[in-house]
Structure 1
Amino acid sequence: MSIKYWSQVGVGFLAFGFTALFSWYEGSALLDDPWEWKYSTPFSEMIHGSISTKEQIVDLDFFVYAAKFSPLFPSMMMMSASYLLVLLGYRFLKHRGFPLFLILFGVMYLLMSAFIVSSPTTGGNILFWLFVLMGLFLIILATLFHFSSSLGIKKQSKQA
């Protein structure tokens, strides 16, 4: 494995780690916003039912709150995680399954955007458009990758 690959992985993990920490910090404001507990604590409600104290809030809900009200770092976190997954998918799937992987990943983003299409918050609307754009980008990238690799194979077979 080359130094180019590992440097990309390292930068991706650093970006993901820093943005996750910043998102977690911004989302910790949920502890001081009890009237938002009913709407921004889906993970805590799955575990504890109705939330009545700060101690019942699960850390994952901080990311939900940050995504709703300050979406810069959660968006960057999602993009760096996507970059890492695409990088790993390219490395392990090589040329055969990679376009299919990108299409499935893009469709997953489009489906996730359908869940937050009617979000009343600015952060939800930003994440909706980010999911849509990333989903379309990955599908277009898969199409381009498929056609460029199939053209490369045809060029090689004509030369032989």
Structure 2
Amino acid sequence: MNNILNDEGVLEMYYIIQYCLLFIFLTFCGFISFYEGSDIFIYSESWKESAFFTQLLGKEITTPSDISQLDLFIYSLKYKPIFPICFIVLLIYLITLTIFLIFRRNRKKLNGSLILIGVFFIITAFFIGKPYSLGIKILLGILISCGILYLSSPFLLKRIKSRLSLN
């Protein structure tokens, strides 16, 4: 088994399989999330509170076509959070997999990029602010948990490496 994991070709195949599966599931969760978020077009009374990105761009919402596509995702996250949360978790896994693939031979760059992403997750969580729906509460929990995990990952990776070298 150890020879299989050390074989560079097999290791690359593991990455390819993971990327293919991620693409399939990300696409599926993304389509479902945007479909569920299209309910915002029906409920015009929620445009002011749910169309954050459209208002951020300075657009006035008078018709459903004025609403940004990202606002569909936010609406879906607020009211039907299952698929948007799955999408975000898969996206975080995609980022992690890519970082490990790019910097797997350079430990300092790997640690630095993981710490940078951890800080980004925590800042994003604080930027989102107060959790006013279940989906936003779950999103904040995921961002803060992943941020803490990414910030502590250099220590964890060093600890795992020392344990593996002892065996």
Q: Would you call these one fold, judging by a TM-score over 0.5? A: yes
Once the two structures are TM-superposed, the CA of residue 43 in structure 1 deviates from its matched residue by: 2.4
SS in structure 2 of the partner of residue 51 of structure 1: coil
Structure 1-normalised TM-score?
Answer: 0.85
Partner of 2:155: 143
Q: Secondary structure at the match of 2:125?
A: helix
Partner of 1:22: 32
Q: Do residues 41 (structure 1) and 28 (structure 2) align?
A: no
Contact 1:117 1:125 in 2 (8 A): no
2:88 is equivalent to residue 78 of structure 1: yes
Query: What is the distance in 2 between the residues matched to 1:92 and 1:120?
Result: 37
- For structure 2, the residue ranges without an aligned partner over 5 or more in a row are 1-8
What is aligned with 1:129?
A: 141
Decide whether the 8 Å contact of 2:60 with 2:66 is kept in 1. no
Provide the C-alpha distance between the structure 1 equivalents of 2:129 and 2:53, rounded to a whole number of angstroms: 20
Unaligned stretches of 5+ residues in structure 1 = 156-160
Match of 2:78 in 1: 68
Cα displacement (A) at 1:121: 1.6
1:64 deviates by: 0.9
**Other-structure match for 1:120:** 132
Moved more, 37-46 or 26-35: 37-46
Counterpart secondary structure, 1:119? coil
1:69-123 deviation digits (Å, cap 9, x = unpaired): 1211111111111111111111111232112111111121111111234122222
1:96-107 equivalences under 5 Å are 96=107, 97-107=109-119
Matched-pair contact (CA < 8 Å) for 2:77–2:135: yes
**1:50 corresponds to 2:60:** yes
Q: Specify the code of the residue in structure 1 equivalent to 2:69.
A: D
Q: What letter corresponds to residue 38 of structure 2 in structure 1?
A: S
TM-score (norm. length: structure 2): 0.82
How far apart, CA to CA, are the structure 2 residues paired with 1:42 and 1:123?
A: 15
**Are the equivalent residues in 2 in contact too, given 1:116–1:125 (CA < 8 A)?**
no
- Percent same amino acid among aligned pairs? 26
28-37 vs 105-114, which moves further: 105-114
Contact 1:106 1:138 (8 Å CA) reproduced: yes
Contact 2:121 2:146 in 1 (8 A): yes
Q: Does structure 2 conserve the Cα–Cα contact (< 8 Å) formed by 1:37 and 1:51?
A: yes
Cα RMSD of the aligned pairs, angstroms, is 2.0
Partner of 1:158: none
